[in-house]
Structure 1
Amino acid sequence: MPQESPISLLKQPSPYAPELLRQLAEECEFKSYPKGSRFVFIHAGEHICQFIRNGTISIENQENNLALGIASAPVSLGFTSALSEKLLLRALDECEVATVPLDTVMARIEEKQLWEIMARHMIIVTNKLFIQNEMATAPTTYDMLCYQLQALAKEPESIRQQIAAYQYIQDRTNLSRSSVMKMLAALKKGGYIELEQGKLLTIKHLPARF
Structure 2
Amino acid sequence: MNVDAKPLAELSRLEQCLKAEGIPLTIPKHQILSYSCVDESPSTFVLQTGIVAVHRRSDELLIGIATAPFIFGLTSDVLGNLQEYNLVAQTPCSGFYLPAQKIYQLIHDGNIWQDAFTWVLWINRLLQRRDMQLVGNNSYNQIRAMLLNMASWDDNLRAKIGVMNHIQRSTRISRSVVAEVLAALRQGNYISMSRGKLVSVNRLPAEY
- Could you tell me the TM-score, scaled by structure 1's length? 0.88
The C-alpha deviation readout for 1:89-138, integer Å capped at 9, x for no partner, is 11111111212111111221122222221111111111111111222214
Identify which of 134, 137, 141 aligns with 2:135. 137
User: Is the contact made by 1:18 and 1:75 (CA closer than 8 Å) also made in structure 2?
Assistant: no
Identify which of 20, 24, 33 aligns with 2:27. 33
Question: Who is 1:47 aligned against?
Answer: 42
Question: Who is 1:24 aligned against?
Answer: 18
Question: Who is 1:113 aligned against?
Answer: 111
Question: Who is 2:164 aligned against?
Answer: 166
- Secondary structure of the residue aligned to 1:46 is coil
Query: Where do residues 5-154 of structure 1 align in structure 2 (5 Å cutoff)?
Result: 9=4, 12-15=5-8, 16-43=10-37, 44-81=39-76, 82=79, 85-154=83-152
Asked whether 1:199 is paired with 2:197, we answer yes
- 1:54 is displaced (CA, Å) by 1.5
Structure 1 distance, partners of 2:150, 2:17, is 32
Structure 2 distance, partners of 1:22, 1:188, is 45
- Secondary structure of the residue aligned to 1:90 is strand
- Secondary structure of the residue aligned to 2:96 is strand
- 1:155 is displaced (CA, Å) by 1.7
Gaps of 5+ in 1: none
Gaps of 5+ in 2: none
Q: What residue identity is the alignment partner of 1:135?
A: Q
How much identity, in percent, do the aligned residues show? 23
User: Is the contact made by 2:23 and 2:98 (CA closer than 8 Å) also made in structure 1?
Assistant: no
User: Is the contact made by 1:51 and 1:97 (CA closer than 8 Å) also made in structure 2?
Assistant: yes
Q: What residue identity is the alignment partner of 1:134?
A: M
- 1:186 is displaced (CA, Å) by 0.8
User: Is the contact made by 1:152 and 1:168 (CA closer than 8 Å) also made in structure 2?
Assistant: no
User: Is the contact made by 2:46 and 2:71 (CA closer than 8 Å) also made in structure 1?
Assistant: yes
- Could you tell me the TM-score, scaled by structure 2's length? 0.88
- Secondary structure of the residue aligned to 1:39 is strand
Q: What residue identity is the alignment partner of 2:55?
A: E
Structure 2 distance, partners of 1:19, 1:68, is 26
